[in-house]
Amino acid sequence: MSGEVLVAGVGAHPWGKWPDKPQLALALHAIDAALGDAGLGWPDVGALVAASSRFEGGMGWGLHANEVAQAVAEQPMACINVGGACAAGVIAFHTAANLIASGECEVAIAFGAERMPKGFIPRPPGGADNITDSDYLRWVAMGATNPAYWAIEAMRRRAEHGTTDETLARAAQLMRRQAADNPLARFRDPLTIEQVLASPMVADPLHLLEICPVSDGAAAVVLCSPQVARRTGARTARIAGSAIGSGAFGDPARRIPSIASTVTGGTIHTSEVMSAARIALDRAGLSPADVDVLEMADNSAWHLLAWPELLGLCEAGQADWLIDHDGFGRDGIAALNPSGGFLSFGEATTAQALLQICELVWQVRGDAGRRQVEGARVAMSAVLGLGANGGSVVLTA
């Protein structure tokens, strides 16, 4: 980005199951809160970017920006819809930031609102029933659920690094411990290791309480130019770096929904996320060691071990020891998902990456209340979306 861009305000609707609230109501709640936090109103807004599609190819059901505009503020403004599955929120944020950096507008909103169906996320509509569609093949040929993909990675980690059932459970326990202090989280009761291990096995070695459920929720972020921030006097967070990424050839990750990979040596695992994270940190002029707070997509307890290593916060194979010795708590080498993470929220796909950014803002502003990480100055997000979408944002105080 050429020009400096600031986050002026953030807001979210609590995560949960809200059968009586349409997506639009969830979105308006989050946007109203974010505009209020920013001290701005709809007439100030020049662009509205919706994380609008859960799935690649425009097959999702998410809200479009214009639906919100027509519902609450009928005014000339750029309404943009971006896909990217569970990474759609960070793509919306990145797009909004660039609209401001380029000078196209001075205030932009990125938002995501989602109501999820119950149970395993099924195949989205619109694909072809043949071998050109991976999300057809994975169901008809073997019935591979999303947790099965994460479990295959977890089982491989057990063989490579000796990861134990207890360490996986402790990672899940950490998320709940942190969520206890977050009124936006859906699951806030503390868990014991025994409770986690006694929950039903879904896909070995992952138990039910080690896998993120699905939820309804909404989050919004208001971005602005330094000129607007000076005028309003809002307490801002600085966008030090932001990047979106896609998968690199030869990636060894078991990428949902593919049934096979062509693996070459030397390509980083989960390249769509890790390449974006590297670029975001480079743009910020920072290194992984500088990160005080990491909000990352913990679709399973395995992610909480693998991703900090892939992101360079610790060495490969070291995350087990860190989890076992509270190295990722609020006083650890970096605070891992102080919000409580996906495991405590449940995933509301398009909104999830924006909720991460809300937490980064609260942390660097010192507004996170009882879950505040002392002295948090550099906060980073990392998120993966189905279809090889990834993104990362680095905010500073």
Positions that interact with another protein (CB under 8 A): 119-120, 122-123, 129-132, 136-145, 148, 151-156, 159, 200-206, 249-250, 252, 254, 259-264
Least distance from C-beta 43 to another protein, angstroms?
45
The secondary structure of residue 328, as a DSSP letter, is T
Considering the complex, state which of residue 227 and residue 262 has its C-beta at the smaller distance from another protein.
262
Least distance from C-beta 163 to another protein, angstroms?
12
Least distance from C-beta 205 to another protein, angstroms?
8
Considering the complex, state which of residue 140 and residue 198 has its C-beta at the smaller distance from another protein.
140
CA torsion sign, 368 to 369 to 373 to 375? positive
Instruction: Return all residues near 389 (Cβ < 8 A) that are at least 6 apart.
Output: 56, 83, 84, 85, 86, 87, 88, 91, 244, 245, 246, 272
Considering the complex, state which of residue 205 and residue 385 has its C-beta at the smaller distance from another protein.
205
Considering the complex, state which of residue 263 and residue 289 has its C-beta at the smaller distance from another protein.
263
Least distance from C-beta 386 to another protein, angstroms?
15
CA 48 to chain centre: 19
Instruction: Return all residues near 325 (Cβ < 8 A) that are at least 6 apart.
Output: none
Considering the complex, state which of residue 113 and residue 202 has its C-beta at the smaller distance from another protein.
202
Bond into 338 cis (ω within 30): no
Residues listed for the chain: 397
Considering the complex, state which of residue 247 and residue 329 has its C-beta at the smaller distance from another protein.
247
Least distance from C-beta 130 to another protein, angstroms?
6
Least distance from C-beta 153 to another protein, angstroms?
7
Least distance from C-beta 311 to another protein, angstroms?
22
Give CA–CA dist 123/130, Å, rounded. Answer: 13
Least distance from C-beta 300 to another protein, angstroms?
11
Considering the complex, state which of residue 138 and residue 235 has its C-beta at the smaller distance from another protein.
138
Considering the complex, state which of residue 107 and residue 148 has its C-beta at the smaller distance from another protein.
148
Residue burial 332-360, b: 16+ Cβ < 10 Å; e: rest: bbbbbbbbbbbbbbbbbbbbbbbbbbbbb
Least distance from C-beta 158 to another protein, angstroms?
9
The CA–CA distances, whole Å, from 176 to 24, 76, 213 equal: 29, 43, 13
Dig out the tokens for 79 from the structure. 């309404």
Considering the complex, state which of residue 46 and residue 390 has its C-beta at the smaller distance from another protein.
390
Bond into 76 cis (ω within 30): no
Four-CA torsion 2, 104, 107, 341, nearest 10 degrees: -60
Instruction: Return all residues near 70 (Cβ < 8 A) that are at least 6 apart.
Output: none
Backbone angles phi, psi at 171, to 5 degrees: -65, -40
